[in-house]
Amino acid sequence: MNLAAATNESLAHTSNVLIYSSMAVYTLAFFAHIAEWVLGSRSKVGRTAAALSGAAGSSAAAPVVVQAGSTAVLERPKVVTRAAAGTRDVPDGPGAAGGTFKGDLWGRIAVSLTVVAFVVEAGGVITRALSVQRAPWANMYEFSITFSTVAVGAYLVLLALKKNVRWIGLPLVTTVLLDLGIAVTTLYTDSDQLVPALHSYWLWIHVSTAIICGAVFYLGAVGTVLYLFRDSYENKLAGGGTPGKFASSVMERLPSASSLDKFSYRINAAVFPLWTFTIIAGAIWAGDAWGRYWGWDPKEVWSFITWVAYAAYLHARATAGWKGRKAAYLALVAFACWLFNYYGVNIFVTGLHSYAGV
Protein backbone atom coordinates (compact mmCIF):
# COMPACT_ATOMS: atom_id res chain seq x y z
CA MET A 1 0.00 0.00 0.00
CA ASN A 2 1.45 3.37 -1.02
CA LEU A 3 1.54 6.44 1.20
CA ALA A 4 -1.41 8.17 -0.51
CA ALA A 5 -3.64 5.11 -0.14
CA ALA A 6 -2.65 4.74 3.52
CA THR A 7 -3.41 8.41 4.15
CA ASN A 8 -6.82 8.15 2.51
CA GLU A 9 -7.66 5.04 4.53
CA SER A 10 -6.61 6.82 7.72
CA LEU A 11 -8.82 9.81 6.85
CA ALA A 12 -11.76 7.52 6.12
CA HIS A 13 -11.31 5.85 9.50
CA THR A 14 -11.11 9.26 11.18
CA SER A 15 -14.33 10.29 9.44
CA ASN A 16 -16.13 7.20 10.78
CA VAL A 17 -14.88 7.89 14.31
CA LEU A 18 -16.08 11.50 14.12
CA ILE A 19 -19.52 10.49 12.86
CA TYR A 20 -19.94 7.99 15.70
CA SER A 21 -18.66 10.59 18.18
CA SER A 22 -21.19 13.13 16.93
CA MET A 23 -23.94 10.56 17.47
CA ALA A 24 -22.83 10.20 21.10
CA VAL A 25 -22.95 13.96 21.64
CA TYR A 26 -26.31 14.26 19.84
CA THR A 27 -27.61 11.61 22.26
CA LEU A 28 -26.56 13.78 25.20
CA ALA A 29 -28.27 16.77 23.54
CA PHE A 30 -31.40 14.65 23.11
CA PHE A 31 -31.57 13.91 26.85
CA ALA A 32 -30.86 17.57 27.66
CA HIS A 33 -33.80 18.63 25.46
CA ILE A 34 -35.97 16.06 27.24
CA ALA A 35 -34.89 17.57 30.57
CA GLU A 36 -35.77 21.04 29.26
CA TRP A 37 -39.33 19.93 28.53
CA VAL A 38 -39.75 17.87 31.71
CA LEU A 39 -38.20 20.31 34.19
CA GLY A 40 -39.72 23.47 32.73
CA SER A 41 -42.32 24.87 35.14
CA ARG A 42 -45.90 24.12 34.20
CA SER A 43 -47.27 26.78 36.54
CA LYS A 44 -45.95 29.56 34.33
CA VAL A 45 -47.17 27.74 31.27
CA GLY A 46 -50.63 27.99 32.78
CA ARG A 47 -50.62 31.71 32.02
CA THR A 48 -50.75 30.86 28.33
CA ALA A 49 -53.72 28.57 28.91
CA ALA A 50 -55.56 31.42 30.59
CA ALA A 51 -54.74 33.70 27.68
CA LEU A 52 -55.93 31.10 25.20
CA SER A 53 -59.18 30.56 27.04
CA GLY A 54 -59.84 34.27 27.25
CA ALA A 55 -58.97 34.78 23.60
CA ALA A 56 -61.29 32.00 22.45
CA GLY A 57 -64.37 33.99 23.35
CA SER A 58 -63.42 37.20 21.57
CA SER A 59 -62.40 38.23 18.08
CA ALA A 60 -60.19 41.09 19.22
CA ALA A 61 -58.11 41.56 22.32
CA ALA A 62 -59.50 44.00 24.83
CA PRO A 63 -57.29 46.57 26.53
CA VAL A 64 -55.88 45.57 29.91
CA VAL A 65 -56.22 47.98 32.82
CA VAL A 66 -53.03 48.42 34.84
CA GLN A 67 -52.94 50.58 37.94
CA ALA A 68 -50.02 53.01 37.87
CA GLY A 69 -50.14 54.74 41.22
CA SER A 70 -53.55 56.41 41.34
CA THR A 71 -53.95 56.50 37.57
CA ALA A 72 -55.46 53.73 35.48
CA VAL A 73 -53.36 53.07 32.37
CA LEU A 74 -54.67 51.15 29.40
CA GLU A 75 -52.20 48.69 27.85
CA ARG A 76 -53.15 47.03 24.60
CA PRO A 77 -51.95 43.40 24.55
CA LYS A 78 -49.99 41.99 21.65
CA VAL A 79 -52.31 40.48 19.06
CA VAL A 80 -51.26 37.54 16.91
CA THR A 81 -53.45 36.99 13.87
CA ARG A 82 -54.13 33.44 12.80
CA ALA A 83 -53.29 32.61 9.18
CA ALA A 84 -56.40 30.52 8.64
CA ALA A 85 -59.84 31.98 7.97
CA GLY A 86 -60.79 34.36 10.74
CA THR A 87 -58.59 35.66 13.51
CA ARG A 88 -57.67 34.46 16.96
CA ASP A 89 -55.83 36.47 19.53
CA VAL A 90 -53.39 33.86 20.80
CA PRO A 91 -49.96 34.66 22.23
CA ASP A 92 -46.91 32.50 21.66
CA GLY A 93 -46.06 30.03 24.40
CA PRO A 94 -42.98 30.48 26.62
CA GLY A 95 -41.02 27.69 24.91
CA ALA A 96 -39.92 24.27 26.09
CA ALA A 97 -38.31 25.77 29.20
CA GLY A 98 -41.70 27.02 30.40
CA GLY A 99 -40.20 30.39 31.23
CA THR A 100 -38.22 29.01 34.20
CA PHE A 101 -34.54 29.15 35.06
CA LYS A 102 -34.13 25.38 35.44
CA GLY A 103 -35.80 24.62 32.11
CA ASP A 104 -33.85 27.37 30.36
CA LEU A 105 -30.58 26.06 31.81
CA TRP A 106 -31.18 22.60 30.36
CA GLY A 107 -32.21 24.16 27.08
CA ARG A 108 -28.94 26.08 26.88
CA ILE A 109 -27.01 22.92 27.70
CA ALA A 110 -28.89 21.11 24.93
CA VAL A 111 -28.05 23.84 22.41
CA SER A 112 -24.38 23.84 23.49
CA LEU A 113 -24.18 20.07 23.05
CA THR A 114 -25.85 20.40 19.66
CA VAL A 115 -23.19 22.92 18.61
CA VAL A 116 -20.43 20.52 19.70
CA ALA A 117 -22.06 17.61 17.87
CA PHE A 118 -22.48 19.76 14.75
CA VAL A 119 -18.78 20.67 14.75
CA VAL A 120 -17.75 17.03 15.23
CA GLU A 121 -20.12 15.81 12.52
CA ALA A 122 -18.95 18.53 10.13
CA GLY A 123 -15.41 17.33 10.79
CA GLY A 124 -16.53 13.83 9.82
CA VAL A 125 -17.97 15.11 6.55
CA ILE A 126 -14.81 17.10 5.75
CA THR A 127 -12.46 14.19 6.49
CA ARG A 128 -14.65 11.95 4.33
CA ALA A 129 -14.18 14.46 1.49
CA LEU A 130 -10.42 14.51 2.04
CA SER A 131 -10.26 10.72 2.03
CA VAL A 132 -11.83 10.52 -1.45
CA GLN A 133 -10.63 13.93 -2.69
CA ARG A 134 -14.03 14.91 -4.03
CA ALA A 135 -17.40 16.26 -2.89
CA PRO A 136 -18.61 14.11 0.05
CA TRP A 137 -22.08 13.39 -1.29
CA ALA A 138 -21.71 10.86 -4.12
CA ASN A 139 -23.73 8.07 -2.43
CA MET A 140 -26.58 7.79 0.06
CA TYR A 141 -24.30 7.44 3.09
CA GLU A 142 -22.41 10.61 2.26
CA PHE A 143 -25.62 12.43 1.34
CA SER A 144 -27.20 11.43 4.67
CA ILE A 145 -24.37 12.60 6.91
CA THR A 146 -24.10 15.85 4.97
CA PHE A 147 -27.88 16.34 5.04
CA SER A 148 -28.08 16.07 8.83
CA THR A 149 -25.08 18.39 9.20
CA VAL A 150 -26.73 21.05 7.05
CA ALA A 151 -30.09 20.67 8.85
CA VAL A 152 -28.46 21.26 12.23
CA GLY A 153 -26.41 24.11 10.77
CA ALA A 154 -29.56 25.82 9.48
CA TYR A 155 -31.17 25.46 12.92
CA LEU A 156 -28.13 26.97 14.65
CA VAL A 157 -28.06 29.87 12.18
CA LEU A 158 -31.70 30.65 13.01
CA LEU A 159 -30.82 30.57 16.72
CA ALA A 160 -27.86 32.89 16.10
CA LEU A 161 -30.24 35.29 14.34
CA LYS A 162 -32.33 35.38 17.56
CA LYS A 163 -35.27 33.57 15.99
CA ASN A 164 -37.70 31.78 18.32
CA VAL A 165 -36.90 28.25 17.11
CA ARG A 166 -35.52 26.40 20.12
CA TRP A 167 -38.70 24.34 20.12
CA ILE A 168 -37.32 22.60 17.00
CA GLY A 169 -34.39 21.25 19.01
CA LEU A 170 -35.94 18.02 20.30
CA PRO A 171 -37.54 16.82 17.01
CA LEU A 172 -34.42 17.89 15.08
CA VAL A 173 -31.94 16.01 17.27
CA THR A 174 -34.23 12.97 17.30
CA THR A 175 -34.37 12.95 13.51
CA VAL A 176 -30.62 13.49 13.16
CA LEU A 177 -29.94 10.48 15.38
CA LEU A 178 -32.33 8.40 13.28
CA ASP A 179 -30.73 9.63 10.05
CA LEU A 180 -27.19 8.90 11.24
CA GLY A 181 -28.25 5.53 12.64
CA ILE A 182 -29.60 4.47 9.25
CA ALA A 183 -26.55 5.92 7.52
CA VAL A 184 -23.94 4.01 9.52
CA THR A 185 -25.85 0.70 9.66
CA THR A 186 -27.74 0.37 6.37
CA LEU A 187 -26.39 2.94 3.94
CA TYR A 188 -22.68 2.84 4.75
CA THR A 189 -20.40 2.69 1.72
CA ASP A 190 -16.60 2.53 1.80
CA SER A 191 -14.69 5.50 0.46
CA ASP A 192 -14.25 5.10 -3.28
CA GLN A 193 -13.77 7.10 -6.45
CA LEU A 194 -16.55 8.12 -8.81
CA VAL A 195 -17.70 6.75 -12.11
CA PRO A 196 -16.71 9.05 -15.01
CA ALA A 197 -20.17 10.61 -15.35
CA LEU A 198 -19.89 12.10 -11.86
CA HIS A 199 -16.52 13.72 -12.41
CA SER A 200 -17.88 17.21 -12.85
CA TYR A 201 -18.00 20.50 -10.99
CA TRP A 202 -21.79 20.16 -11.25
CA LEU A 203 -21.54 17.53 -8.48
CA TRP A 204 -20.58 20.34 -6.13
CA ILE A 205 -23.32 22.66 -7.40
CA HIS A 206 -26.29 20.39 -8.09
CA VAL A 207 -26.07 17.98 -5.16
CA SER A 208 -25.05 20.60 -2.60
CA THR A 209 -28.12 22.71 -3.40
CA ALA A 210 -30.30 19.59 -3.21
CA ILE A 211 -28.95 18.89 0.29
CA ILE A 212 -29.54 22.47 1.42
CA CYS A 213 -33.08 22.41 0.07
CA GLY A 214 -33.89 19.10 1.75
CA ALA A 215 -32.50 20.26 5.09
CA VAL A 216 -34.51 23.49 5.06
CA PHE A 217 -37.65 21.75 3.75
CA TYR A 218 -37.30 19.42 6.74
CA LEU A 219 -37.37 22.36 9.18
CA GLY A 220 -40.48 23.64 7.41
CA ALA A 221 -42.09 20.20 7.70
CA VAL A 222 -41.46 20.12 11.47
CA GLY A 223 -43.11 23.51 11.80
CA THR A 224 -46.06 22.32 9.70
CA VAL A 225 -46.65 19.19 11.80
CA LEU A 226 -46.53 21.19 15.03
CA TYR A 227 -48.84 23.80 13.49
CA LEU A 228 -51.48 21.12 12.85
CA PHE A 229 -51.28 19.90 16.47
CA ARG A 230 -51.30 23.41 17.90
CA ASP A 231 -54.19 24.48 15.65
CA SER A 232 -56.26 21.49 16.79
CA TYR A 233 -55.44 22.40 20.39
CA GLU A 234 -56.57 26.01 19.89
CA ASN A 235 -59.73 24.84 18.12
CA LYS A 236 -60.55 22.58 21.06
CA LEU A 237 -60.12 25.43 23.52
CA ALA A 238 -62.19 27.73 21.35
CA GLY A 239 -64.96 25.13 21.33
CA GLY A 240 -64.98 24.92 25.11
CA GLY A 241 -63.14 21.59 25.28
CA THR A 242 -60.60 20.57 27.90
CA PRO A 243 -57.39 19.06 26.51
CA GLY A 244 -55.49 16.48 28.53
CA LYS A 245 -52.67 17.45 30.86
CA PHE A 246 -49.94 16.14 28.56
CA ALA A 247 -51.36 17.95 25.52
CA SER A 248 -51.70 21.15 27.51
CA SER A 249 -48.17 20.91 28.89
CA VAL A 250 -46.69 20.52 25.40
CA MET A 251 -48.98 22.67 23.27
CA GLU A 252 -49.07 25.65 25.63
CA ARG A 253 -45.30 26.04 25.39
CA LEU A 254 -45.17 26.15 21.60
CA PRO A 255 -45.62 29.28 19.48
CA SER A 256 -49.19 29.99 18.44
CA ALA A 257 -50.67 28.23 15.42
CA SER A 258 -50.35 31.52 13.55
CA SER A 259 -46.63 31.80 14.30
CA LEU A 260 -45.95 28.17 13.36
CA ASP A 261 -47.90 28.57 10.13
CA LYS A 262 -45.96 31.70 9.19
CA PHE A 263 -42.64 30.05 10.06
CA SER A 264 -43.34 27.06 7.83
CA TYR A 265 -44.54 29.21 4.96
CA ARG A 266 -41.56 31.56 5.08
CA ILE A 267 -39.08 28.67 5.28
CA ASN A 268 -40.62 26.84 2.32
CA ALA A 269 -41.05 30.01 0.27
CA ALA A 270 -37.44 31.06 0.89
CA VAL A 271 -35.92 27.76 -0.28
CA PHE A 272 -38.29 27.06 -3.18
CA PRO A 273 -36.30 29.18 -5.68
CA LEU A 274 -33.17 27.22 -4.72
CA TRP A 275 -35.02 23.95 -5.41
CA THR A 276 -35.95 25.34 -8.82
CA PHE A 277 -32.26 26.09 -9.43
CA THR A 278 -31.38 22.53 -8.29
CA ILE A 279 -33.57 21.02 -11.00
CA ILE A 280 -32.18 23.40 -13.63
CA ALA A 281 -28.60 22.62 -12.57
CA GLY A 282 -29.35 18.90 -12.78
CA ALA A 283 -30.71 19.33 -16.30
CA ILE A 284 -27.59 21.18 -17.39
CA TRP A 285 -25.39 18.47 -15.87
CA ALA A 286 -27.46 15.79 -17.61
CA GLY A 287 -26.87 17.59 -20.90
CA ASP A 288 -23.12 17.49 -20.32
CA ALA A 289 -23.02 13.88 -19.09
CA TRP A 290 -25.68 12.13 -21.17
CA GLY A 291 -26.26 14.43 -24.12
CA ARG A 292 -29.84 15.36 -23.16
CA TYR A 293 -31.27 17.81 -20.64
CA TRP A 294 -34.34 15.79 -19.68
CA GLY A 295 -35.04 12.11 -20.15
CA TRP A 296 -37.83 11.33 -17.66
CA ASP A 297 -35.47 9.35 -15.47
CA PRO A 298 -37.21 8.41 -12.14
CA LYS A 299 -35.06 10.86 -10.18
CA GLU A 300 -35.85 13.64 -12.62
CA VAL A 301 -39.56 12.82 -12.55
CA TRP A 302 -39.80 12.84 -8.76
CA SER A 303 -37.73 16.01 -8.49
CA PHE A 304 -40.27 17.64 -10.78
CA ILE A 305 -43.20 16.16 -8.82
CA THR A 306 -41.69 17.61 -5.64
CA TRP A 307 -41.35 20.98 -7.34
CA VAL A 308 -45.01 20.88 -8.45
CA ALA A 309 -46.14 19.89 -4.94
CA TYR A 310 -44.31 22.80 -3.30
CA ALA A 311 -45.53 25.17 -6.02
CA ALA A 312 -49.09 24.01 -5.31
CA TYR A 313 -48.55 24.63 -1.59
CA LEU A 314 -47.21 28.15 -2.14
CA HIS A 315 -50.07 28.92 -4.52
CA ALA A 316 -52.60 27.52 -2.04
CA ARG A 317 -51.03 29.55 0.75
CA ALA A 318 -51.58 32.70 -1.33
CA THR A 319 -55.20 31.78 -2.04
CA ALA A 320 -57.68 32.83 0.65
CA GLY A 321 -59.71 29.62 0.60
CA TRP A 322 -56.67 27.36 1.06
CA LYS A 323 -54.82 28.94 3.95
CA GLY A 324 -54.31 27.12 7.20
CA ARG A 325 -54.77 23.36 7.50
CA LYS A 326 -55.49 22.62 3.83
CA ALA A 327 -52.27 24.30 2.74
CA ALA A 328 -50.39 22.57 5.58
CA TYR A 329 -51.46 19.16 4.28
CA LEU A 330 -50.09 20.10 0.87
CA ALA A 331 -46.77 21.08 2.47
CA LEU A 332 -46.49 17.66 4.12
CA VAL A 333 -47.35 15.91 0.85
CA ALA A 334 -44.60 17.94 -0.84
CA PHE A 335 -42.03 16.95 1.78
CA ALA A 336 -43.14 13.32 1.52
CA CYS A 337 -42.40 13.58 -2.22
CA TRP A 338 -38.92 14.86 -1.41
CA LEU A 339 -38.33 11.95 1.00
CA PHE A 340 -39.50 9.40 -1.55
CA ASN A 341 -37.29 11.03 -4.17
CA TYR A 342 -34.34 10.41 -1.87
CA TYR A 343 -35.04 7.04 -0.22
CA GLY A 344 -37.65 5.42 -2.45
CA VAL A 345 -36.20 6.25 -5.86
CA ASN A 346 -32.61 5.54 -4.80
CA ILE A 347 -33.35 2.18 -3.18
CA PHE A 348 -36.33 0.72 -5.04
CA VAL A 349 -36.24 2.25 -8.52
CA THR A 350 -33.55 1.66 -11.13
CA GLY A 351 -32.51 4.57 -13.30
CA LEU A 352 -29.56 6.57 -14.56
CA HIS A 353 -29.03 7.95 -11.04
CA SER A 354 -28.46 4.44 -9.66
CA TYR A 355 -24.79 4.19 -10.66
CA ALA A 356 -23.57 5.74 -7.42
CA GLY A 357 -24.92 2.75 -5.48
CA VAL A 358 -26.28 3.00 -1.95
pLDDT digits (tens, 9 = 90+) for 134-144: 888 888 899 99
Q: Is the pLDDT of residue 286 over 50?
A: yes
**How many other CB atoms are found less than 10 A from the CB of residue 263?**
24
Nearest to 124 by CA among 38, 194, 169, 183: 183
Q: How far is CA 176 from CA 117, 141, 231, 245, 278, in A?
A: 11, 13, 26, 29, 23
CA–CA distance, 268 with 56 (Å, rounded to integer): 29
Q: Is the pLDDT of residue 276 over 90?
A: yes
Nearest to 35 by CA among 112, 118, 96, 92: 96
pLDDT above 70 as % of the chain: 80
Beta strand segments in the chain, E: 64-68, 71-75
Residue range 255-277: mean pLDDT, rounded:
94
CA–CA distance, 168 with 35 (Å, rounded to integer): 15
Residue bearing the bigger pLDDT, 91 or 122: 122
Helices (H) and strands (E) in the chain, counts: 12, 2
Residue bearing the bigger pLDDT, 58 or 283: 283
Q: Could you tell me where the DSSP H helices lie in 161-297?
A: 169-185, 202, 208-238, 245-251, 257-290
Residue bearing the bigger pLDDT, 33 or 93: 33
Residue bearing the bigger pLDDT, 21 or 81: 21
**pLDDT the model gives residue 200:** 77
**pLDDT the model gives residue 45:** 55
Residue range 255-273: mean pLDDT, rounded:
93
Residue range 262-270: mean pLDDT, rounded:
94
pLDDT tens-digit readout, 102-135:
999 999 999 999 999 999 999 999 999 998 888 8
- Indicate the helix (H) or strand (E) that contains 77: none
Least-confidence region, from 6-15, 33-42, 82-91, 201-210:
82-91
Q: What does pTM read for this prediction?
A: 0.83
- Chain-centroid distance of CA 56 in Å reads 30
Residues 6+ apart with CB under 8 A from 150: 211, 212, 215
For residue 88, name the pLDDT band (cuts at 50, 70, 90): low
Residues 6+ apart with CB under 8 A from 327: 265, 313, 316, 317
